[in-house]
Structure 1
Amino acid sequence: MYILKSGIKKNPGRRWALPDRIFFGYGACHILAGAYLERPPLKNFYGERIVPFSEQPGNHIYVTDGVITFDYHGYSLRERLLSHHSRVWLTQRESWICEIVPVDFDLLSTTDLNERKMLGPDQYLHDAVPRARAFIERRDHAAAAAKARSKSQWVQVSKGS
């Protein structure tokens, strides 16, 4: 897991200067998910949110079709993303626990995001939506999703063995 140096998230210039994967993985995942859903490269995806209990850190938003997900890692199995996320946070905080909830608000609305203690796309040094769109457009979604989905079949076969 990548740990941001102290103060980066509070410094707009330093935050904006982060590489895309770190920028969208550590504080702007909701913008990436919102841009994906605004112009979906694949059908039947919706937003989900990892919400830690007791005001603990570890909130994360991604898009999924129920089997695979897309976030700053690219495409992966939903089960793997959730397992990895929980495992990492449990190494940081023994009592870390969360719930998975559907996103029921506009991921690109500053008002909706601010109500949930997240920055709106226009509250970064520059508008984060074009950056998210560019990140999304650099991928071959059909191939990457197929590759992730093929791992689902392998997991099912190995579980049945």
Structure 2
Amino acid sequence: MYHLKHGIKRNPERRWALPDRIFFGHGACAILAGAFLRNPPLEGFYTERIVPDEGFFGNHYYVTDGWVAFDYHGYSGRERLLAHHARGWAGDYPGWGCRIEVVDFDLLDTAELNRNKMLGPDQYLHDPIARAEAFIARVDHPKAFARALRTTGPVRPDDDDA
């Protein structure tokens, strides 16, 4: 797991200068999820949020269809993403735990994000929505989704073979 140097998240210039994966993995994950859903490259996705137990860090937003997830890593099996996230945080913070919530608010609305202790799009040095859209545009979505789907285990309930 990547750890930011102290003070980067509070410094708009240093935060903006982070590479995309680190930028979207350390604070702008909700913006990436919101941009994905605003113009979805694949249908059937919604947002979930990892909410750490009281007193812990590790909040994270990602989009999923229930089997495959998309975040700053790209596409992965949802369970694989959750296990990776939990391993990283629990390895550094013994006792770390979390719950998963479906997100029911606009991830590009500053007031809603602020209520959930996240920065809104107009609170960054430059336009994080445009940055997220450019990040999303670099992905071959059907190919990456198919590769991630192969890691999710047996047959999905909505597959014709089930």
Which bracket does the TM-score occupy, shorter chain normalised?
over 0.9
Q: Name 2:158's counterpart in structure 1.
A: none
- TM-score (structure 2 length as normaliser): 0.93
Distance 1:18 1:41 in 2: 25
CA deviations over 1:83-142 (Å, ceiling 9, x no partner)? 010111101111111000000111000000011110001101012100000000000000
Q: Tell me the distance in 2 between the aligned counterparts of 1:145 and 1:127.
A: 27
Q: Mind listing any 5+ residue stretches in structure 2 that lack a counterpart? A: 156-162
**What amino acid maps onto 1:44 in structure 2?**
G
Aligned to 1:36: 36
Number of residue equivalences: 155
Deviation at 1:156, TM superposition (A): 3.4
Moved over 2 A (4+): none
**Structure 1 partner of 2:74:** 74
Find the counterpart in structure 2 of residue 156 from structure 1.
154
TM-score normalised by L of structure 1: 0.94
Equivalent AA in structure 2 for residue 78 of structure 1: R
Partner of 1:126: 126
1:151 CA displacement = 1.8
Q: After superposition, where does 1:9-158 map in structure 2 within 5 Å?
A: 9-152=9-152, 155-156=153-154
Shift of residue 55, structure 1, vs aligned partner: 3.5
Is the partner of 2:151 in helix, strand or coil? helix
- Once residues 149 and 37 of structure 1 are traced to their aligned partners in structure 2, the CA distance between those partners, rounded to angstroms, is 19
Aligned partners of 1:100 and 1:52: how far apart in 2? 9
Unaligned runs of 5+ in 1: none
Task: Name the SS for the 2:129 alignment partner.
Answer: helix
Q: Which has the higher helix share?
A: 1
User: Percent identity of the aligned residues?
Assistant: 64
